[in-house]
Amino acid sequence: MDNPKETLHADVLVLGFGKGGKTVAAAMGRLGKRVVLVEQSDQMYGGTCPNIGCVPTKALVHHSGKRRTGDPAQEWYEHAVEEVQALTSRFRGGNFDALNGADTVTVVTGRAAFVDQHSVEVGSGSERLVVTAETILINTGSEPIIPDTLGLRESEYALTSTDLIQRTVLPERLVIIGGGYLGLEFASIYRRFGSQVTVLESAPRILGRDDEDVAAAAQGILEDEGIKIITSVCVVEVRDRPADVTVVYDRDGRQETVDADVILVATGRAPATAGLRLEAAGVRTTEGGGIEVDEYLRTSRPGIYALGDVNGGPQFTYISLDDSRIVLDQLIGEGKRSTADRVAIPHTLFMTPPLATVGLTEREAREAGHVVKVTREPVAEIVAMPRAYVVEETRGLMKFVIDAETDEILGAALLSVDAQELINTVALAMRYGIKAAELRDGVYTHPSSTEAFNEVLAAVV
């Protein structure tokens, strides 16, 4: 290696400004440890969530829901994007200042690659910096998967979610390839902004992991809003034209087409490890491309940990945060905390109203051998939930799956206003062994969404 321009020595080196890495960096910095955090882009200080993920997309959910029928679609959308960009800029700056402003933490911007187990180089040529550390955290996140579909990668109309939320021009016709959480969330957002939205999903139905009654209720809401959902399709070609694009897909042995102004590719995300030169450090990866870790998030090399999406685990900010607790316990604690401690981790699809789930579905519970009791009630029929009428959102349903012998809550699916908050109460109850009857008999504020539990859990069959 040519003589580097500069060398930095750190106690802890963090690659990536995501939730897990920045939390460990801040904690170790407060303890007086010398910390260097490397982030490849000055547009990603703080990680995916505040820049291109949770914060901007949920802000767009909020803005799209405020638009009234008579509001000009393009004007409203452009204003919303500008507001969201201003918000993410504030978050980005705050994240940078919070770390780089600490006496013991240095933020370095540039692409990092391992030299060996304890050294990483940032940049190249005369701008190259080498950082050495005994403890290294890899927190580089994930990146969109673009399928090898004819014409898709070359299409000037095909965008990732990151690209789409930066545009101030509202697409009149939006085709979304992929009916998972990301695809459906964007379908709901852009339909409410005024786009014509078509979702192409390869599976026989959307939300394949959820029970059929829950998935059907969610699909019904989306379709009632004017979203066209086409399942069991295989996208075979994308054809650019001078002013728009045609998506060609096979369905039931027939070839069909749909025209669009923009294609959103929502076919999943993969761990971002390209260019890290993990082999130089002896860090192994899995068949799925994630960094191989044990339950304590230790990689194949002592002193190197992997947090967040890059380790191939669930791709949620709150999982990355919990990863930071595990690693901190390794660095400054008793070393006992692990991924095996995670119980009842909830998920939310931010359509309108949101769909939040936790634990087992009815199908999974029965397949696991549980004798179950089920309660399911449409929101519009829950008398004890006047909040739904107050905010004029009575669509959806609530469903609980309960062990018939122990009264243990095995799982829940809440498709309702405030579901993203309600599910946390259910998850907490599951973690600490609170029975369904105790949740049913809880005393909740009024009028609130939580008090729906009083009624829904009283109707267990």
Per-residue pLDDT of the chain (461 residues; tens, 9 = 90+): 455 568 999 999 999 999 999 999 999 999 999 999 999 988 888 888 888 888 989 899 999 988 888 889 999 999 999 999 999 999 889 988 888 888 899 999 999 999 999 999 998 667 789 999 999 999 999 999 999 999 999 999 999 999 999 999 999 999 999 999 999 999 999 999 999 999 999 999 999 999 999 999 999 999 999 999 999 999 999 999 999 999 999 999 999 999 999 999 999 999 999 999 999 999 999 998 999 999 999 999 999 999 999 999 988 999 999 999 999 999 999 999 999 999 999 999 999 999 999 999 999 999 999 999 999 999 999 999 999 999 999 999 999 999 999 999 999 999 999 999 999 999 999 999 999 999 999 999 999 999 999 999 998 86
**What does DSSP say about strands 372-378 and 35-39: parallel, antiparallel, or unpaired?**
unpaired
Extract the annotated binding site: 58, 140-142, 178-185, 201, 268, 309
On whether the CB atoms of residues 27 and 54 are closer than 8 A, the answer is no
Which residue, 398, 401, 400, 372, is CA-closest to 384? 398
Phi-psi region of 85 (alpha: psi -120 to 50; beta: other; left: phi over 0): alpha
Q: What is the pLDDT of residue 461?
A: 67
Q: Tens digit of pLDDT for each residue in 12-37?
A: 999 999 999 999 999 999 999 999 99
Whether residue 48 contacts residue 321, with contact meaning beta carbons closer than 8 Å, is answered with no
* Reported pTM: 0.92
Q: Tell me the pLDDT of the chain averaged across its residues.
A: 94
From CA 36, how far away is CA 38, in angstroms rounded?
7
Quote the pLDDT of residue 5. 63
Which residues are annotated binding-site positions for FAD?
Answer: 58, 140-142, 309
- Can you say which residues are annotated as belonging to the binding site for NAD(+)? 178-185, 201, 268
Q: How far is CA 97 from CA 62, 100, 284, 318, 455, in A?
A: 27, 5, 34, 22, 48
* Residue-range domains of the chain with CATH: 6-143+270-341 (3.50.50.60), 158-267 (3.50.50.60), 347-459 (3.30.390.30)
What type of residue is 46?
G
Instruction: Write the pLDDT tens digit of every residue in 403-417.
Output: 999 999 999 999 999
Q: What is the pLDDT, as a whole number, of residue 3?
A: 53
Task: Say how many residues make up the chain.
Answer: 461
pLDDT of residue 1: 43
- Cα–Cα distances (Å) from 34 to 41, 131, 134, 135, 303, in that order, read 22, 12, 11, 11, 16
Which residues does the annotation mark as catalytic?
A: 446
Answer yes or no: are the C-beta atoms of 282 and 115 closer than 8 Å: no
